[in-house]
């Protein structure tokens, strides 16, 4: 039996054939963590404050502080710092000093619990060196980085840099193409910074991005892109520290003389008087004013500061390094608000002659590491290190999907046997809770991503609980990670008595931006995408949707007749919409082909993205009980092919 592979032919699978949705557990928490750095007027760090000295306001209303700690150099949590070089805005003559200062900074900072990475932008973002504490590898990456200072998309035969051509176009009233390319380059750099900020959300604690930049065009007005970058950084706990690499004599400053910090190389950013440095309304009347305004806003919006003294770049960088160990962590319970809304934040300290820097907004979303620092979280950490697998059975699937080159979101799907759960009467409801901890570690045991969750299940009467016997609870979670080979350990418990543990390999292939496929998500449940607005349990998740159909990923690869089965995947690349796909089902024991869709064009999509989502029915009704492999191939117009496989069972 031959079935179509694309979702434009899903019409017959909705309605009666859609299986009833299994219970989905929902999290309800509004705890917000705010990092704050407090300094004296001369730039010295203040490390003797208590929770009573701080005040946090959300949208102008003060909030009670529930948690308080001071991160110090003795803390065991890994520090993560990224050196981000915007090659498109730096002049070649400025890059020698930048390289030298960065290399010295790497020598001083890299080491145990201090991980550094190097990222370059020359029209597109490239990871020159992933996180490591090896100073030699980091400096090798600095030496090999292709610093050139050219505007993006400028080929050798492009005459947009030719003075005669520019003068000719200006005489004709044409737009200067070089200026236009530079303007787009500035916007694209900030968009790349946004993608980087999002990807760093997978790492624990406060992260720092040091942005080396030169002159961004004053004709650019990337306010929307800057706001998006600030929001992404704040959601991921990232502070941005721009470094203006231009010579000091080009950095004119209106008004009073600069107020220098302890290294004499930067001005403190944060809550400052109107018109002072860090105020979004302040302007600088030199040719880099647009650049400065963008960099100032990125710093002040995320709790960083700006380094401007190129005569002492290393001194400025060293002061950035100190901030990894000199910040307070404050926690408060945010008032309930609609998911996805953003709120202004302000942190004040009851001590005169001090300055506070912190992020300036908070956007509601499900926290990635909800149980961090709690008793439940410590209990799960202990169980994860033990060999016992527990008494709560479950199964797990880990499809992943790219959100940017070399950044993936992993969609955790689990089926948990509900028979072991114990319910108690709580406020008239039969109530049960599960705590989850997920840790993705590389071959060396280094944690590369983690999440934790506290989940609730409530029923009105005993018959609903009775109906759960012999059935599975469906649970989903999403986290982000960079490509690599990992082991994901998920530990989950109900109090101290019952728990379960699963371990699974997680291999995320690298994607540089050309033709690529996501992994394959198997499913036994679909819904019209129009119903998504009525599915609050999906908070914090990216739903899998194609051609108006939402596909719910299954936590099990076991299928029984006559239930329906489906699969979902995404195709990426500049020519993704022109690609063709083919799906095969093979017998795992004999490799005999059991089903072939043939090559079929992908459905047209007008989302403006370089990706296409698709899927189909899985033809288990035509298969005998046994072990099978689903194989999906994507082929672009040039004949390049990529494949993904997923194993499944038919009972």
Helix ranges restricted to H, 154-256: 163-171, 177-199, 223-236
Helix 223-236 and helix 177-199, axial crossing angle in degrees, nearest 10: 20
What are the backbone dihedrals phi and psi of residue 180, each rounded to the nearest 5 degrees, phi first?
Answer: -65, -40
325 vs 328: CA distance, rounded Å: 9
The band of 250, judged by pLDDT with boundaries at 50, 70 and 90, is low
Mean per-residue pLDDT, 33-38: 86
Q: Quote the mean pLDDT of the chain.
A: 76
The band of 159, judged by pLDDT with boundaries at 50, 70 and 90, is very low
The band of 170, judged by pLDDT with boundaries at 50, 70 and 90, is very low
Contact 51, 57 (CB under 8 A): no
Mean pLDDT check: name the lowest of 93-107, 176-190, 235-249, 547-561.
176-190
What are the backbone dihedrals phi and psi of residue 523, each rounded to the nearest 5 degrees, phi first?
Answer: -150, 155
pLDDT, position 540: 58
**Which is more confidently placed, 626 or 177?**
626
**Which is more confidently placed, 496 or 154?**
496
638 vs 431: CA distance, rounded Å: 57
pLDDT, position 536: 31
Q: Name the nearest CA neighbour of 595 among 617, 613, 569.
A: 617
286 vs 254: CA distance, rounded Å: 9
The band of 61, judged by pLDDT with boundaries at 50, 70 and 90, is very high
Give the C-alpha distances (Å, rounded to integers) separating 41 from 46, 354, 413, 494.
Answer: 10, 6, 51, 50
Q: Name the nearest CA neighbour of 391 among 487, 492, 503, 504.
A: 492
Q: Name the nearest CA neighbour of 499 among 574, 647, 338, 388.
A: 388
Rg value, the chain, Cα: 27
Mean pLDDT check: name the lowest of 190-199, 366-375, 447-456, 636-645.
366-375
Q: Name the nearest CA neighbour of 417 among 312, 498, 328.
A: 498
How many other CB atoms are found less than 10 A from the CB of residue 357?
A: 26
Q: Name the nearest CA neighbour of 111 among 279, 292, 321, 291.
A: 321
**Which is more confidently placed, 95 or 651?**
651
The band of 568, judged by pLDDT with boundaries at 50, 70 and 90, is very high
Query: What would the two tokens of residue 457 be?
Result: 């299940």
Q: Note if the bond before 620 is cis, omega within 30 degrees.
A: no
The band of 641, judged by pLDDT with boundaries at 50, 70 and 90, is very high
Q: Is 557 exposed, middle or buried (0-12, 13-18, 19+ CB in 10 A)?
A: middle
**pLDDT for 281 beyond 50:** no
Mean per-residue pLDDT, 442-466: 85
Query: What would the two tokens of residue 573 be?
Result: 């690349």
DSSP assignment of 109-166:
H-BTTEEEEEEEESSSEEEEEEEES-HHHHHHHHHHS----PPTT--TT-GGG-HHHH
Mean pLDDT check: name the lowest of 318-332, 385-399, 475-489.
318-332
Contact 84, 121 (CB under 8 A): yes
pLDDT, position 373: 66
630 vs 612: CA distance, rounded Å: 19
pLDDT, position 502: 94
Contact 613, 632 (CB under 8 A): no
């Amino acid at each position: 039996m031959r079935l179509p592979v694309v979702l434009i032919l899903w019409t017959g699978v909705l309605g009666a054939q859609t299986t009833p949705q299994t219970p989905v557990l929902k999290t309800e928490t509004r705890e917000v963590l705010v990092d704050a750095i407090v300094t004296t007027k001369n730039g010295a760090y203040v490390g003797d404050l208590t929770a009573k000295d701080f005040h946090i306001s959300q949208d102008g209303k003060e909030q009670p502080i529930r948690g308080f700690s001071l991160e110090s150099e003795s803390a065991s949590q890994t520090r993560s710092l990224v050196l981000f070089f915007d090659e498109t805005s730096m002049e070649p003559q400025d890059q020698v000093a930048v390289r030298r200062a960065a290399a010295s900074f790497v020598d001083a900072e890299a080491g145990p619990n201090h991980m550094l990475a190097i990222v370059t932008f020359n029209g597109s973002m490239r990871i020159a060196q992933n996180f490591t504490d090896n100073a030699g590898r980091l400096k090798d990456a600095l030496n090999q980085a292709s610093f050139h200072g050219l505007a993006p998309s400028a080929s050798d035969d492009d005459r947009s840099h030719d003075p005669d051509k520019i003068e000719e176009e200006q005489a004709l009233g044409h737009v200067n193409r070089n200026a236009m390319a530079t303007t787009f380059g500035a916007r694209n750099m900030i968009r790349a910074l946004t993608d980087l900020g999002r990807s760093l959300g997978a790492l624990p604690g406060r992260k720092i991005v040091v942005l080396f930049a030169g002159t961004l065009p004053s004709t650019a007005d990337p306010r929307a892109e800057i706001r998006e970058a600030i929001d992404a950084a704040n959601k991921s706990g990232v502070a941005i520290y721009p470094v203006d690499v231009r010579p000091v004599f080009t950095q004119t400053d209106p008004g009073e003389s600069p107020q220098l910090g302890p290294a004499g190389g930067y001005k403190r950013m944060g809550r400052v008087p109107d018109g002072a440095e860090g105020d979004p309304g302040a302007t600088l009347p030199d040719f880099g004013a647009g650049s400065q305004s963008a960099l100032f806003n990125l710093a002040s919006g995320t709790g960083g500061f700006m380094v401007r003294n190129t005569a002492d770049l290393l001194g400025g960088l060293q002061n950035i390094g100190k901030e990894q160990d000199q910040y307070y962590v404050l926690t408060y319970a945010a008032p309930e608000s609609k998911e996805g809304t953003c709120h202004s934040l302000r942190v004040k300290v009851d001590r005169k002659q001090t300055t506070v820097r912190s992020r300036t907004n908070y956007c509601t979303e499900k926290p990635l590491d909800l149980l961090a620092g709690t008793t439940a979280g410590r209990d799960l950490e202990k169980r994860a290190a033990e060999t016992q697998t527990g008494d709560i059975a479950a199964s797990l699937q880990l499809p992943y999907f790219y959100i940017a080159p070399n950044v993936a979101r992993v969609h955790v799907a689990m089926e948990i046997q509900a028979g072991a759960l114990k319910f108690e009467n709580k406020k008239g409801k039969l109530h049960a809770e599960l705590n989850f901890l997920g840790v993705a570690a590389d071959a060396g045991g280094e944690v590369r991503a983690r999440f934790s969750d506290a989940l609730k299940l409530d029923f009105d009467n005993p018959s609903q609980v009775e109906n759960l016997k012999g059935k599975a609870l469906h649970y989903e979670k999403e986290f982000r990670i960079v490509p690599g080979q990992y082991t994901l350990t998920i530990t989950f418990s109900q109090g101290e008595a019952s728990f379960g543990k699963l371990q699974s390999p997680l291999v995320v292939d690298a994607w540089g931006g050309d033709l690529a496929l996501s992994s394959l998500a198997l499913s036994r449940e679909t819904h019209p995408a129009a119903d998504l607005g009525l599915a609050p349990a999906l908070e914090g998740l990216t739903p899998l949707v194609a051609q108006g159909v939402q596909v719910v990923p299954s936590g099990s690869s076991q299928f029984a007749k006559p239930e329906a089965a489906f699969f979902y995947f995404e195709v990426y690349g500049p020519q993704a919409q022109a690609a063709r796909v083919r799906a095969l089902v093979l017998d795992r024991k004999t490799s005999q082909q059991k089903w072939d869709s043939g090559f079929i064009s992908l459905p047209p999509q007008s989302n403006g993205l370089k990706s296409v989502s698709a899927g189909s029915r899985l033809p288990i009704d035509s298969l005998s009980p046994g072990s099978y492999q689903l194989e999906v191939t994507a082929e672009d117009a040039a004949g390049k092919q990529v494949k993904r496989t997923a194993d499944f069972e038919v009972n």
